[in-house]
Amino acid sequence: MSVRPLIFTAVALAACSEQPPAHTHTHDAGPIVDAPDGAWPFGLPPGFPVPRLPAEARLSPELTELGRHLFYDKRLSGNGTQACASCHAQARAFSDGLVTPSGSTDQALRRNAMSLTNVAYGPTQTWANFHLDTLEQQALVPMFGDNPIELGITGNEEVVLGRLRADPAYAPRFAAAFPGDTDPLDFNHVVAAIAAFERRLISGQSRVDRSRQGDLAALSASERRGQDLFFTEALECQHCHGGFNFTIAVDHAGLATPATAFFNNGLYNLGGTGAYPLIDQGLYELTQLDSDRGRYKPPTLRNIAVTAPYMHDGSMATLDEVVRFYERGGRLTTTGPNVGDGRLNPNKSPFVGGFVLTDQERSDLIAFLEALTDDAFLTDPTLSDPFQ
């Protein structure tokens, strides 16, 4: 496989029946269940389907462990200052806590760094690009993209590979991950390993999950009330954030086709025309359809409490702000260049119609969202920085 054509393709694109689990292992953090499909060699939380592997992808403990090292290795950037983990920190559910990140050369990125929670189940990757439908394709963008520069490998390919080859620990790791390959240390294998590690980022042991598994004490009374609210037709949250992964944008081996989804939630409505700020107009940038202005993938709500700030542009700082935004049915901007009433955006999803909450109900709903935090995932040593 040739890397160079794949690199240019990915950069161009960036610019513009579930079976019950059988065997259960008990861990301190909660139950993890053997995946019923040999193509997925790792345990999955109860009720989770087997993720779909792309035809060209594979998964093994050796490959994912190599990917873990590469994910955290700053030597993978052109100037040696950033790693994948620089924008995707485990304690923040593999997001970064910034409005938008900056690349290795301090060039600002225009979109908020998405959490990597359960990316193995993503039918598409990133906020608004239906062409990037595998983790392998997505990885090429931060590695080799130059608008903006993220890891900045383009033009520094041999330097980066030279650093990895100079580390005696990597040769046996690549050999174990790619047995039979006489010269396995190349960018194709780097990409495959990073994608394999990202497929290990499975989160499904929150207190909400434990409650669903029969632990009646897992949720407080407030959290249970918030859960009931979340699934009411009055709020309609589940229409975009339903299912086992709390997003309807989902894919797994049990689906005939991936469930791709993008929505406009009324964040902007410049001049009452449905327009979004020129810096980022969502799916419109690929389709050039006016109806796609401001349409983005609904992210998973798992671990949402630790992934602030929110929205594609990081423009909301707290869950309280997010809930009040959805109460109103869109954001009203009264000053500055983005003046407009998002509630009146002609492209807005009909599921964002607004609703009324009491202070107690709002508090309960936020408490439920916070109960989706999976502390075991945020501290799992098998997903942590191996260089620490």
Q: What is the CATH number of the domain that holds 98?
A: 1.10.760.10
- On whether both 246 and 178 belong to a single domain, the answer is no
Number of domains in the chain: 2
- On whether both 246 and 352 belong to a single domain, the answer is yes
Give the pLDDT of residue 329: 98
Domain that holds residue 300: 207-375
- On whether both 195 and 211 belong to a single domain, the answer is no
How distant is the alpha carbon of residue 276 from its chain centre? 23
Of the residues 171, 202, 233, the one at which a domain ends: 202
Give the pLDDT of residue 200: 97
The pLDDT confidence band at residue 33, using thresholds 50, 70 and 90, is confident
CB atoms within 10 A of CB 112: 26
Per DSSP, the three-state class of 50 is coil
**Residue 244: CA count within 13 A, CB half-sphere:** 20
Whether the Cβ atoms of residue 262 and residue 295 lie closer than 8 Å to each other: yes
In-domain check, residue 380 = no
Measured CA to CA in angstroms, residue 250 lies from 40, 123, 238, 304 at distances of 17, 5, 13, 17
- On whether both 110 and 232 belong to a single domain, the answer is no
The pLDDT confidence band at residue 30, using thresholds 50, 70 and 90, is low
Is a pLDDT exceeding 60 seen at residue 294?
Answer: yes
Q: What share of residues in the chain are helix, strand, coil (percent, to 5)?
A: 35, 5, 55
Task: Give residue-wise pLDDT tens across range 328-346.
Answer: 999 999 999 999 999 999 9
Give burial (CB, 10 Å; 0-12/13-18/19+) of 216.
Answer: exposed
- On whether both 21 and 168 belong to a single domain, the answer is yes
- On whether both 156 and 212 belong to a single domain, the answer is no
**Residue 187: CA count within 13 A, CB half-sphere:** 24
